[in-house]
Chain A
Amino acid sequence: MNVKKWLGLAAVHVLAAMGALTGCSSNAGSTAEEIRIGAIAPLTGPAANAGVALQQGIELAAEEWNAKGGIEVDGKKLPIKVFFEDSQSKPEQGVSGAEKLINQQKVHLLIGDAFASSVTMSVMDLASQYEIPILSGEPVSEAIAEKVEKDPEKYQFFWKGNFGSSAYAETVFETYKYLEANKQYTPKTKTVAFVVEDTDYGRSNADVTGKLFEHDGWKIAAAETVQLGYTDFYPQLSKLHSLKPDVIVTCFTSVASGVAFVKQFQETKAGALHLAIYYPVRPEFIEQAGPAANNLIWTPLSYDPKQIERQKKFAESIQNKYKVASTSDHASGYDAMVNALTAIEKAKSLDSAKIAKQLSNLEREGLLGKYVFDQKNHQIKAGADYLPVPAAQIQNGENKLIWPENVSTSSPVPQPWVK
């Protein structure tokens, strides 16, 4: 190798090292003029209605904090600026968006992914790579928490802004046990079937819920995973018709899948007890599914501005600003953003380590409940004292809280199709 080539190679290495150092910057000592928050969410694709609602919740929080004068950082009040990238619920798209926000927009904190567990599974590794605090929004997959638990040092900058799948699983299982105890349902074969979307979210929820049923002596008759946004459930329902499970648990993030499933479920006269996770949370679900939605039991009804006082004002703000009915996704986006801003406010700095430390100490009453992180896996605690995960039933076109019994607003009614 000649001298020129050696010099060239050395120059490349020096530049690469400089780039790496810049990339690894933890924002310490920066003289920022604004607090730059990045957020990735599915702004297009089958989960876009959730993604856009999350975006609006985040924007509203930023606007309110800016109206208060921003946040004091290193003795100076700075305004908040938010940057969004579309993940399309795809991990590769999410990572690309996150890299863009970190490297080009130089964000100080990233909310990622605001919605999809699969995307967070990929994006969370950027926290240690770039030493930037990353807070996820709605993702619940247990696999995220397991990764943190295995290597807490690596994920010191990553915090999972929602509870784990086990919270959904416990609600589904305990609600079932409550129905059984109240003689509303008696199983014949003790078999349960799952129809869930083929994402980390769907699989994780089915897996953890299935284990609870199995632990109670049940058998899993079928576990059908379908792609995100899938709507042709006739083949799955025909199969379940022949297997005759006692209970069917469904879980989709796309409301189109949920609407299609319940309509086709009624049409094919399926006879199992039907419990659902997530999709009835969308207000358009009842409107679009119509009578087919009636009597469905689902979780989590954690956003109900008609009943919960602290959510009323927020619902009005969303209605006034965006001219849309608010959803739990709006509230999740708002809470995630306020959690992030609270940590920065307490850190009084844009230093990643200081923000991460304040995230770990977070103890805040949000719209959806009290946010406190579990230190062993960095995920938000679930339960009556933290983020509640109650079950509801759609009765005459309206959601009624049926479990836990002490907070219920109505008694469950038997699902008329159950044979």
Chain B
Amino acid sequence: MGVLVEQLLNGLIIGSMYSLVASGLSLIWGTMKMLNFSHGEFYMVGGYLMYFTNVASGMNPLLACALSLVAVFLLGVLIERTVIHHLLDKPGWDISPLIATIGISIFMQNFALRVWGERFKNIPYYADGNANIAGVEMSYQRILIFVVAIVVVVLFWAFLKFSRYGMALRATSQNRDAAAIYGVNIYVIYMITFGISATLAALAAVMLSPIYSVNPWMGAPPLLKAFTVVVLGGLGSLEGAIIGGVVLGVLESLGVFFFSSEWRDVVAFTVLILVLWIRPTGLFGAKAW
């Protein structure tokens, strides 16, 4: 029983990070109706910036985190303005952002490889030590990851629900033309949406990098997981991204426990196929933001 609880906790923790990365992807789909294949690279840049600010420059982790997130937000805004913005409302919009973001992803990966090198970088834990929760050994770092994920998801939800920007974003998501008529500058909304989405990915990297590592290819696995999560939860649904992330994390952990590591993805994807078979729009359909 104890080991089952331990596996559920493992799944919840990694799942909470899947949720964070997937929320950004889902946010972009919900608002701009495009898939962002460079999302994993914002995750990667977040990890590198945290390494440079926290480890190489010796900055306080909180300040380093804040600086890294602001920088990634600005990078997201810059990329939206310089690349995505010019493709908006042009013929081929259904495919052009997909190709463009694949290009951005390849560029960013190779940029990181050339400039920062192929050697893996490591960030020390933000919180040292272990806690024993109901007989399960858990590092404070992992507890911190879980707490941060919950706090950020709640704040993000409240921001979308109650802030002026959140309302404008939801209005754009529901009907962009009507939103524009009511005075919403949809191009600014798109730009900020892209920046927020990148920041969510970067935050996941900041939290996970001390446990894993920082390298030019670190963005690919979370991107794949995030796509799985948004499909499982329903494209464009925030609730779907959150619940989908946790479900995927728990399924993977239980897959390792009941079968073996090589069956981990098989178990997760079998459930995904079953869900899509029963509910083709995912767990939460295409519910508006």
Interface, chain A (partner B; CB < 8 A): 43-46, 48-49, 51-52, 195, 198, 222-226, 229, 231-232, 234-236, 238-239, 241-242, 255-256, 259-260, 263-264, 267-269, 284, 287-288, 290
Specify which chain A residues have a CB less than 8 angstroms from the CB of B215 in the assembled complex.
46, 256
Specify which chain A residues have a CB less than 8 angstroms from the CB of B2 in the assembled complex.
242
B82 is an interface residue with CB less than 8 A from chain A: no
Specify which chain A residues have a CB less than 8 angstroms from the CB of B139 in the assembled complex.
267
Q: A234-B13, A235-B256 are in contact. List 7 more A-B contacts (CB 8 A).
A: A46-B215, A48-B113, A49-B118, A238-B3, A239-B257, A259-B120, A259-B213
Closest to B258 in A: A239
Q: How many residues of B contact A (CB 8 A)?
A: 36
Specify which chain A residues have a CB less than 8 angstroms from the CB of B185 in the assembled complex.
none
Q: How far is the CA of A51 from the CA of B119 in the complex (A)?
A: 11
Distance in Å: Cβ of B192 to nearest Cβ of chain A: 32
Q: How far is the CA of A319 from the CA of B59 in the complex (A)?
A: 30
Q: How far is the CA of A44 from the CA of B130 in the complex (A)?
A: 35
Specify which chain A residues have a CB less than 8 angstroms from the CB of B212 in the assembled complex.
231-232, 256, 260
Q: How far is the CA of A138 from the CA of B227 in the complex (A)?
A: 36
Specify which chain B residues have a CB less than 8 angstroms from the CB of A45 in the assembled complex.
217
Q: How far is the CA of A202 from the CA of B219 in the complex (A)?
A: 24
Distance in Å: Cβ of B44 to nearest Cβ of chain A: 13
Q: How far is the CA of A226 from the CA of B252 in the complex (A)?
A: 12
Q: How far is the CA of A232 from the CA of B142 in the complex (A)?
A: 12
Distance in Å: Cβ of A330 to nearest Cβ of chain B: 13
Do B122 and A259 have beta carbons less than 8 Å apart?
A: yes
Closest 3 CB pairs of A and B: A288-B122, A235-B256, A231-B212
Specify which chain B residues have a CB less than 8 angstroms from the CB of A255 in the assembled complex.
120
Other-chain contact of A260, B14, B124, B213 (Cβ < 8 Å)? B213
Query: Would A256 and B213 be within 8 Å (CB), given that A232-B14, A235-B252 are in contact?
Result: yes
Do A260 and B211 have beta carbons less than 8 Å apart?
A: yes
Do A238 and B6 have beta carbons less than 8 Å apart?
A: yes
Closest to B253 in A: A235
Distance in Å: Cβ of B246 to nearest Cβ of chain A: 15
Do B137 and A225 have beta carbons less than 8 Å apart?
A: no
Do A48 and B14 have beta carbons less than 8 Å apart?
A: no
Do B14 and A234 have beta carbons less than 8 Å apart?
A: yes
B262 is an interface residue with CB less than 8 A from chain A: yes
Specify which chain A residues have a CB less than 8 angstroms from the CB of B221 in the assembled complex.
229
Give 9 A-B contacts (CB < 8 Å), ordered by A residue.
A43-B118, A44-B118, A46-B215, A234-B10, A235-B261, A256-B212, A269-B137, A284-B119, A288-B122
Specify which chain B residues have a CB less than 8 angstroms from the CB of A269 in the assembled complex.
130, 137
Q: How far is the CA of A224 from the CA of B221 in the complex (A)?
A: 19
Closest to B10 in A: A234
Other-chain contact of A44, B119, B124, B217 (Cβ < 8 Å)? B217
Interface, chain B (partner A; CB < 8 A): 2-3, 6-7, 10-11, 13-14, 109-110, 113, 118-122, 124, 130, 137, 139, 142, 211-213, 215-217, 221, 252-253, 256-257, 260-262, 264
Closest to A43 in B: B118
Do B119 and A49 have beta carbons less than 8 Å apart?
A: yes
Query: Would A239 and B217 be within 8 Å (CB), given that A198-B262, A268-B137 are in contact?
Result: no
Q: How far is the CA of A268 from the CA of B9 in the complex (A)?
A: 13
Q: How far is the CA of A269 from the CA of B6 in the complex (A)?
A: 13
Do B7 and A235 have beta carbons less than 8 Å apart?
A: yes
Do B113 and A224 have beta carbons less than 8 Å apart?
A: no
Do A267 and B260 have beta carbons less than 8 Å apart?
A: no
Query: Would A256 and B261 be within 8 Å (CB), given that A231-B211, A239-B3 are in contact?
Result: no
Do A235 and B264 have beta carbons less than 8 Å apart?
A: yes
Query: Would A284 and B120 be within 8 Å (CB), given that A225-B262, A242-B3 are in contact?
Result: yes
Do B213 and A48 have beta carbons less than 8 Å apart?
A: no
Do B257 and A52 have beta carbons less than 8 Å apart?
A: no
Q: How far is the CA of A256 from the CA of B121 in the complex (A)?
A: 9
Distance in Å: Cβ of A206 to nearest Cβ of chain B: 12
Distance in Å: Cβ of A177 to nearest Cβ of chain B: 28
Distance in Å: Cβ of A297 to nearest Cβ of chain B: 22
Do A238 and B10 have beta carbons less than 8 Å apart?
A: yes
Do A236 and B261 have beta carbons less than 8 Å apart?
A: yes
Do B257 and A235 have beta carbons less than 8 Å apart?
A: yes
Specify which chain A residues have a CB less than 8 angstroms from the CB of B113 in the assembled complex.
44, 48
Other-chain contact of B3, A226, A229, A241, A284 (Cβ < 8 Å)? A241
Closest to A242 in B: B3
Q: How far is the CA of A51 from the CA of B109 in the complex (A)?
A: 17
Distance in Å: Cβ of A75 to nearest Cβ of chain B: 42
Q: How far is the CA of A222 from the CA of B3 in the complex (A)?
A: 15
Specify which chain A residues have a CB less than 8 angstroms from the CB of B142 in the assembled complex.
234
Specify which chain B residues have a CB less than 8 angstroms from the CB of A241 in the assembled complex.
3, 6
Q: How far is the CA of A325 from the CA of B262 in the complex (A)?
A: 35
Do A225 and B6 have beta carbons less than 8 Å apart?
A: no
Do B264 and A229 have beta carbons less than 8 Å apart?
A: no
Specify which chain B residues have a CB less than 8 angstroms from the CB of A259 in the assembled complex.
120, 122, 213
Other-chain contact of B217, A224, A229, A236, A267 (Cβ < 8 Å)? A229
Distance in Å: Cβ of A205 to nearest Cβ of chain B: 16
Distance in Å: Cβ of B239 to nearest Cβ of chain A: 24
Closest to B14 in A: A232
Q: How far is the CA of A52 from the CA of B119 in the complex (A)?
A: 10
Q: How far is the CA of A357 from the CA of B264 in the complex (A)?
A: 47
Specify which chain B residues have a CB less than 8 angstroms from the CB of A235 in the assembled complex.
7, 10-11, 252-253, 256-257, 261, 264
Specify which chain B residues have a CB less than 8 angstroms from the CB of A288 in the assembled complex.
120-122, 213
- Of residues B7, B109, B110, B211, which shows the largest number of chain A Cβ atoms within 10 Å of its Cβ? B211
Distance in Å: Cβ of A88 to nearest Cβ of chain B: 9
Distance in Å: Cβ of A254 to nearest Cβ of chain B: 8
Closest to A269 in B: B137
Distance in Å: Cβ of A262 to nearest Cβ of chain B: 12
Distance in Å: Cβ of B214 to nearest Cβ of chain A: 9
Specify which chain A residues have a CB less than 8 angstroms from the CB of B119 in the assembled complex.
49, 284
Q: How far is the CA of A288 from the CA of B120 in the complex (A)?
A: 9
Q: How far is the CA of A190 from the CA of B252 in the complex (A)?
A: 29
Q: How far is the CA of A242 from the CA of B135 in the complex (A)?
A: 12
Distance in Å: Cβ of B137 to nearest Cβ of chain A: 5
Q: How far is the CA of A328 from the CA of B178 in the complex (A)?
A: 64
Distance in Å: Cβ of A57 to nearest Cβ of chain B: 14
Q: How far is the CA of A45 from the CA of B218 in the complex (A)?
A: 9
Specify which chain B residues have a CB less than 8 angstroms from the CB of A52 in the assembled complex.
118
Specify which chain A residues have a CB less than 8 angstroms from the CB of B137 in the assembled complex.
267-269
Specify which chain B residues have a CB less than 8 angstroms from the CB of A48 in the assembled complex.
113, 118, 216-217
